[in-house]
Amino acid sequence: MNEILKELENRRQQARLGGGQARIDAQHKKGKLTARERIELLLDNESFEELDMYVKHRCVDFGMDQTQISGDGVVTGWGTINGRQVYVYSQDFTVFGGSLSETHAQKICKVMDMAMSNGAPIIGLNDSGGARIQEGVASLAGYADVFQKNVLASGVVPQISVIMGPCAGGAVYSPAMTDFIFMVRDSSYMFVTGPDVVKTVTNEVVTAEELGGAKTHTTKSSVADGAFENDIEALEQIRRLFDFLPLSNRERPPERPFFDDARREDHSLDTLIPNNPNQPYDMKELILKLSDESDFFEVQEDFAANIVTGFIRLEGRTVGVVANQPLVLAGVLDIDSSRKAARFVRFCDAFEIPILTLVDVPGFLPGTSQEYGGVIKHGAKLLFAYGEATVPKVTLITRKAYGGAYDVMASKHLRGDFNYAWPTAEIAVMGAKGAVEILYRQELGDKKKIEKRTKDYEKRFANPFVAAERGFIDEVIAPHSTRKRICRAFASLRGKQLKNPWKKHDNIPL
Q: What are phi and psi of 263, to 5 degrees?
A: -100, 10
User: Above pLDDT 90, what percent of the chain?
Assistant: 73
Bridge partners (DSSP) listed for residue 184: 228
> What does the pLDDT read at residue 36?
94
**What CA–CA distance (Å, rounded) separates 415 from 432?**
28
Cβ neighbour number for residue 420 with a 10 Å cutoff: 24
Pick 275 or 132 by higher pLDDT: 275
Closest to 208 measured CA to CA, from 249, 163, 175, 158: 163
Q: Which burial class, exposed, middle or buried, applies to 367 when counting CB atoms under 10 A from its CB (0-12, 13-18, 19+)?
A: exposed
pLDDT category at 102 given cuts 50, 70, 90 is: confident
Query: Which one, of 376, 365, 367, 360, lies nearest residue 409 by Cα?
Result: 360
Catalytic sites, residue numbers: 169-170, 404-405
Half-sphere exposure of 488 (CA within 13 A, CB side): 10
Angle at 244 between CA 239 and CA 245, to 5 degrees: 95
Q: Give the pLDDT mean for 240-258.
A: 96
Q: What is the structure's pLDDT at 450?
A: 75
pTM for this prediction: 0.94
Average pLDDT of the chain is: 92
Of all helices (H) and strands (E), which one includes residue 358? strand 355-361
Q: Given pLDDT bands bounded at 50, 70 and 90, which one contains residue 5?
A: confident
pLDDT at 60: 63
Letter string b/e over residues 193-229, b meaning 16 or more CB atoms within 10 A of that residue's CB: ebbeebeeeeeeeeebeebbbbbbbbbeebbbbbbbe
**Nearest Cα residue to 473 out of 396, 386, 393, 373:** 396
Cα 326 from Cα 133, distance rounded (Å): 50
Q: Enter the DSSP assignment of 289.
A: H
- Torsional class of 113: left (φ above 0), alpha (ψ -120 to 50), beta (otherwise): alpha
* Separation CA 401–CA 417 (nearest Å): 18
Backbone angles phi, psi at 299, to 5 degrees: -115, 135
> Would you mind telling me the total number of residues written for the chain in this entry?
510
Rounded to the nearest angstrom, the gap between the alpha carbon of residue 259 and the centroid of all alpha carbons in its chain is 27
pLDDT for res 59: 66
pLDDT on residue 323: 98
SS3 256: coil
DSSP 198: H
Quick one: 250 exposed, middle or buried, by C-beta within 10 A (0-12, 13-18, 19+)?
exposed
pLDDT above 90 (res 170): no
pLDDT attached to residue 176: 95
Q: Looking at the predicted structure, is the pLDDT value of residue 201 above 90?
A: yes
Q: pLDDT digit string (tens) for 269-328?
A: 999 999 998 899 999 999 999 999 999 999 999 999 999 999 999 999 999 999 999 999
Higher pLDDT, 408 or 8: 408
Which 8-state DSSP code applies to residue 224?
A: -
Contact 50, 110 (CB under 8 A): no
Question: What integer pLDDT is reported at residue 437 of this predicted model?
Answer: 75
Q: What is the pLDDT of residue 288?
A: 98
Kindly give the interhelix angle for 375-388 and 335-350, rounded to the nearest 10 degrees: 20
pLDDT at 61: 67
Least confident of 45-59, 263-277, 435-449, 478-492: 435-449
Residue bearing the bigger pLDDT, 82 or 449: 82
Q: Looking at residue 251, what DSSP letter applies?
A: S
In whole angstroms, what is the distance from residue 186 CA to residue 188 CA? 6
The predicted pLDDT at position 269 comes to 98
Q: At 431, is the pLDDT very low, low, confident or very high (cuts 50, 70, 90)?
A: confident
Are 116 and 153 within 8 A, CB to CB? Answer: yes
pLDDT greater than 90 at residue 255: yes
**Tens of pLDDT along 491-510?**
999 999 999 999 999 999 98
